[in-house]
Structure 1
Amino acid sequence: MPAFRQIRNFTLSSAAAAALIASSCAAAQAAPAAEPTAGETFTLDLLDINDFHGRIAANSDSAGAAVLSGAVDQVRKENPNTLFVSAGDNIGASTFASASQEDAPTIDALGAGGLDVSTVGNHEFDRGFKDLSGRVIDRYAKATGQDGAEFALGANVYKKGTKNPALREYAIREVNGVNVGFIGTVTEDVPSLVSPAGITELDFGSELEAVNRVAAQLSDGKADNGEADVIVLLTHNGSESTECSSIARENTSYGELLRKASGEVDAIISGHTHQSYDCSVAGPGGERPVIQAHQYGTTLGKVSLEVDGSTGDVVESSTERLPLTAKNDVGEWAANYAPNTKVESIVEKAVADSEKVGNVKVGQISQDILRGGEVPGSDRGVESTLGNTVADIHLWATSNKDFAGTPAQIAFMNPGGLRADLLYGEDGTVTYKAAADVQPFANTLVTFDMTGAQIREALEQQWQPDGSERSKLHLGISEGLSYTYVEDAPRGKHIKDITFNGKPLDESATFHVAANAFLAAGGDNFAAFAEAKNHADSGQIDLDATVNYFKSHDVVDPAPLGRAAVAGTDWAKVELSSKQLKAGEEATVTVTGLAEGAQINASAFDGELVISDIPAADAKGATSFKLPIAEDAAAGDYELVISQIQHEDIVTPFSVVGAEEPSQTPTESPSATPTEPSETPSAEPTGTPSETATSSESATDAPSATQSANDDDSQKNQDGLAQTGFNTAWLGIAAGVIVLLGVGLLLARRFGAKH
């Protein structure tokens, strides 16, 4: 509390004590007179939301803006000393009814529902600072009838290169004669969560420094710079945990904020991590309430502060979370509060208007992109082109050149999050509404780190725990990741070979992964994703990512099936009419053991030859085709690869043999074994074979006396001269004599010149 408040507390307390003593002394003589009661308290209720994300229409456990406002109305009716506040992300990452109209319906609905003050979240910067400081704040002013800047507090948001606040730092509301001050801050990670182009004018500083600075200002007794009796921190930051003991000691910027924020701060209301908790955490001024009210308007947080009306001291506090919906007897979600009719009409109009906006074209597809099952969407346990395509979209959204965070390498998509197919129709046009219908939950895309071993574990978790509604949920996976599996293997043994970018997945390495918030939190029993490290909001929702992907691609093709393949090559038998073929020939390939109507493909020569028009398997499960060998095919060993979608390839070796080469063995004489010319010059000047040579010597050292004319030709080639009776060895001797004579003459002339 401010110093002057503390002095006043002491004075009033002393006066009360004196009055009490005086009345005691007079008790025997007369009845005590009524004295003014010092320290009279009242209950200040703070109702809070966080991460509402434009969920204006009711959907599942999200109550919608009308019921949310109705709950606030009911609590205000019970206690007029009530304020309705938000810890940020009111807009952005919204469902279609709001997102399609730049979230104007959400601002209008919250304004009409009595929102008193709000801090900014990272999603308030989705469209850039100019949009926030202009259109958004102006819309809040119109919707609430108050200063719109007080619905976008940001004490740690500064003008670039300075410590000058770019947003309003705090707001003050008077309740029952007590000034309640709200300081707003946002996570320092905003630059990695939104497009850098939209926040070039801003810096995001320490939340702790900003809170303590503003809290000191509001408690310094100087009326001209704002004074507050009760101070509440609204922070768009939070814990990944829901356990109070863990939250109190966590080694994060948020944990430090809870423990070190000024003792003048009486309560902390948080957001950003979409968790649900209410705790009491020790700070410089003692224990104080800390709360986060889940997400999407499923829950209304409630912090009750017992305030001394004469001093402004908070003498007691409590917290609770009020669920806005519950499942009824038939398992359907029903509202726990009556709706606010004014807000209800805003929502109904927004939904109707969004239908018109939904007809806007956002992209083009080349053919249907479908969910799994013979009837698309009927089987979530099989691979689908839509699941893989959406995984590709999420990977692109978290790795393209405009993404501010660490680029993702792999992405996953849960099949239950796909609620409609993308149909080609007449011309392949994809409308805004069609894209929104595919992923209607407006889930934030989250990035995190997983080891290769954790990726294997996540793939194993596609086979759901016993007793689950579905025995298998097949994940969509992004391009570059593939694996083989055994369907009926024991639990934990389904996944066999995993490859990433064509190489075996390194299970000891760490990979940066993207998934929607539902899957990242371990939804659908995929605990491996929740156990991953460094979860971070990407600053994007699935719908925005999809729309931007379509805008960046002229035509979107379905992602292929086969990223997941049944392990083993016994699904068919392959036979070649011959496994040794000459260039220009062809072999007949017969494939049996297929299902009737099955379609296969074949390739050879390391993919240079692709055969894709193979007839479908007949009623006996057989088909055949020709394997042609090109005229210029080089001799060697090759492989024929038979492929069927979602099956492991069957590889069959074959060889290409070249034309027959001329024999390297000399023609044998009828009368003798072929011999080679002698390597030693004959001693006979006439070249006549030695008369003392034995039969074995004649085969290796000298020509045979019975050698044919062909042998003479061979000898001509070796000696370079025809056999004329002159042995070429004498040429060498003569040349040597001439050289020696020349050297002698040179020496004689040299010595003769000296004399």
Structure 2
Amino acid sequence: MAIRQRRRGWLAVTTVVAASLVGGLTTTGTASADRNPPARTMDLQLLAVNDLHGNLEPPQGSSGTILEPGATVPTPAGGMAHLATQLEAARAKNPNSLTVAAGDMIGASPLLSGLFHDEPTIEGLNKLGLDVSSVGNHEFDEGRAELLRMQNGGCHPKDGCYTPGREFKGADFEYLAANVVDEKTGLPIMAPISIKYVNGAWIGFIGMTLEGTPDVVTAEGVKGLKFKDEVETANRYTKLLKLIGVKSIVVLLHEGGQPTSGAYYNYDCNAGGALGLSGPVVDIAKNLDPEIDAVVTGHTHQSYVCSIPDPKGQPRLVTSGASLGRLYTEINLTYDKRTRDIVRTKVSAANHIVRRTTAEHEGMKTLIKDWNALAAPVANRTVGYIAGKIDGRGSTKPESPLGDLIADAQLEATAAADKGAAQLALMNPGGIRSDFAYEGPEGNGVVTYAEAFTVQPFTNMMVTQTLTGQAILDLLAQQVTGVNAEKPRWLQVSKGFAYTVDKTKTGAAMIVPGSVKLNGEPIDPAKSYRVSSNEFLAGGGDGFTAFKTGTDKLNGGSDLEALLAYLAAHSSAGTPLPVPAADRITFQG
């Protein structure tokens, strides 16, 4: 695989910048000779996106909508061709503009991008005019080497080049990974900072993913890497930027928060006085160096514009723009040319809907069309039939119909004695990336390979192992404790498994004792059971560490193969698959 390094190392760049800034400091002039001195300040604009997840085309179903205040019908949103047009219009209003991102731009992608290892999305982001992005946890889905290929280019080591004579060039923008280091050398695996020059202004960016990335990525994806504390890392690089004279600093952070009330696409966390935001980003923002002027976040797929006080009590902007390309964030900064710093009292931001009524950008439209032509022979193949819309990612309930379907498919794929003898299958909700739409160009109720891939894009391998009944009970408790205490992660369960949740309780007490049953029989803590899951969960992902107590593990096919086989076995044009009832978990209170 040919890899080309097209940029100077970040340390070399900072040296050049430092020399330039020092030169600027020592320049002298006669102020009185200038009768019309230039304005002391200038307006800067950041256009920010996050958590695109390779959605070049508008996301399908409820995942492709935004609810506006006062509206009863969601607004269709998203699509890179629409986003490109809107960003061009925004830049036309202020040429002093940079486009930035807060990670998860690739990974968990629909077939159009995922089939080609996200090369289409990187090319789309180049065309979009992205200047710099932090890495997110999904940038590590295929491991360090593949992430570096995304940055530097070269054809895929196994699949090769997708178009004869045309080699993938990599990202024109910089991926930043300040808190991701090689466990042997202790050095960042990619540039930790980027310094941009905009019409006389120097802006420093520090890019990071969440410290807990190993908890939400397969072990193979983060092999040989360490993920450092976000605050400690950002503050260290802030000192470096200040040392070389860069005083305007923005953090691009793939970690976020949850609006606590009345959330909508341009949610103001500070309306009503108290901070209406919870989650890891709050403590991070409160402890970041006061010299940092703004924080662009992601990961939680939420929408907010907040002011969170820094350690000196001064207000500081923190933003997030939902996910899947449905929003972009416009951040307006005032730069003081004399102090070379951002005037914090004049910082503002707003999220904007990427409306599908916007004209499509011709260049982006052509790029998408070209990749679609390559994907069509695989993408358009019919793999099943459904009787109605099956909600997954877009479900408003903890147990989703599509979650039941996937768990049933995984149980069936691993139930045979030679396949694992599974009695129960558990599926992580975060691994369900979309819905099964009923209506479509291929015909109502038809499920294509592209739709199935979009729902299950990771191709995680199935693992069947022996767990004690106590371990199963522990898994259910871990849905609402530990890292999942603030925002529960409800495992999707296969047929025959049922239990009750008491919403009046907290923590592990929410799981009603004696309600956990398999095929009508209470789970016995002392007995052993064969449990199937994808390899991510089997490795303890998402805080479900009880999986790591399993024994007698047997690896099987991929979760996508299980889903495809289930659709083929249980649906036809004349007898489509019914919409699952999603009634295995009972919520009371």
Whether the TM-score (by the shorter chain) exceeds 0.5 is yes
Give per-residue Cα distances to partners, 1:568-593, cap 9 Å, x unaligned: xxxxxxxxxxxxxxxxxxxxxxxxxx
TM-score, normalised via structure 2 length: 0.62
Is the counterpart of residue 195 in structure 1 residue 236 in structure 2?
no
Which residue of structure 1 lines up, in the alignment, with residue 332 of structure 2?
304
Which residue of structure 2 lines up, in the alignment, with residue 230 of structure 1?
248
Aligned residue among 93, 106, 120 for 2:108: 93
Q: Secondary structure, in 3 states, of the residue corresponding to 2:317?
A: strand
Is the counterpart of residue 82 in structure 1 residue 131 in structure 2?
no
Which residue of structure 2 lines up, in the alignment, with residue 154 of structure 1?
177
Is the counterpart of residue 350 in structure 1 residue 361 in structure 2?
no
Q: Secondary structure, in 3 states, of the residue corresponding to 1:199?
A: coil
Is the counterpart of residue 214 in structure 1 residue 237 in structure 2?
yes
Aligned residue among 321, 327, 340 for 2:351: 321
Aligned residue among 437, 440, 465 for 1:419: 437
| Kept in 1: contact 2:321–2:327 (CA 8 A) | yes
| Kept in 2: contact 1:444–1:537 (CA 8 A) | no
Distance 1:339 1:452 in 2: 45
The Cα shift of 1:161 comes to 3.8
Aligned residue among 167, 190, 204 for 2:190: 167
> Mind listing any 5+ residue stretches in structure 2 that lack a counterpart?
1-17, 65-75, 156-165, 262-268, 414-423, 440-445, 460-473, 481-490, 501-513, 525-530, 534-540, 546-555, 572-576, 585-589
Distance 1:356 1:563, change over 3 A: closer
| Kept in 1: contact 2:258–2:279 (CA 8 A) | no
Which residue of structure 1 lines up, in the alignment, with residue 359 of structure 2?
338
| Kept in 1: contact 2:330–2:352 (CA 8 A) | yes
Distance 1:554 1:74, change over 3 A: closer
The Cα shift of 1:477 comes to 4.7
Q: Secondary structure, in 3 states, of the residue corresponding to 1:208?
A: helix
| Kept in 1: contact 2:55–2:80 (CA 8 A) | yes
Pairing 1:247-326 to 2, within 5 Å after superposition: 253-284=280-311, 286-315=314-343, 316-325=346-355
Which residue of structure 1 lines up, in the alignment, with residue 548 of structure 2?
none
Coordinate RMSD, CA, aligned? 5.3
Question: Aligned residues: percent identity?
Answer: 29
Which residue of structure 1 lines up, in the alignment, with residue 201 of structure 2?
178
Q: RCO (CA 8 Å, sep 6+): is it higher in 1 or 2?
A: 2
Is the counterpart of residue 437 in structure 1 residue 451 in structure 2?
yes
| Kept in 1: contact 2:408–2:425 (CA 8 A) | no
Which residue of structure 2 lines up, in the alignment, with residue 392 of structure 1?
408
Distance 1:302 1:178 in 2: 18
Give per-residue Cα distances to partners, 1:233-277, cap 9 Å, x unaligned: 000111123662599597854222201111221110001110000
Distance 2:141 2:479 in 1: 35
The amino acid that maps onto 1:417 is D
Pairing 1:12-51 to 2, within 5 Å after superposition: 35-37=35-37, 40-51=40-51
Distance 1:562 1:443, change over 3 A: closer
Distance 1:109 1:139, change over 3 A: farther
| Kept in 2: contact 1:180–1:232 (CA 8 A) | yes
Distance 1:394 1:419, change over 3 A: farther
Pairing 1:527-542 to 2, within 5 Å after superposition: none
| Kept in 2: contact 1:235–1:271 (CA 8 A) | yes
Give per-residue Cα distances to partners, 1:355-385, cap 9 Å, x unaligned: 1233789x9xxxxx764xxxx338999x999
Distance 1:247 1:481, change over 3 A: farther
Distance 1:113 1:434, change over 3 A: same
Which residue of structure 2 lines up, in the alignment, with residue 104 of structure 1?
119
Which residue of structure 2 lines up, in the alignment, with residue 377 of structure 1?
388
| Kept in 1: contact 2:305–2:317 (CA 8 A) | yes
Distance 2:562 2:311 in 1: 52
- Matched pairs, number: 440
Q: Secondary structure, in 3 states, of the residue corresponding to 1:417?
A: coil
The Cα shift of 1:409 comes to 4.6
The Cα shift of 1:562 comes to 13
Pairing 1:1-12 to 2, within 5 Å after superposition: none
Which residue of structure 1 lines up, in the alignment, with residue 497 of structure 2?
481
Q: Secondary structure, in 3 states, of the residue corresponding to 1:419?
A: coil
| Kept in 2: contact 1:391–1:476 (CA 8 A) | yes
The amino acid that maps onto 1:481 is F
Distance 1:114 1:554 in 2: 37
Distance 1:84 1:52, change over 3 A: same
The Cα shift of 1:217 comes to 0.5
Distance 1:288 1:94 in 2: 33
The structure number with the bigger radius of gyration is 1
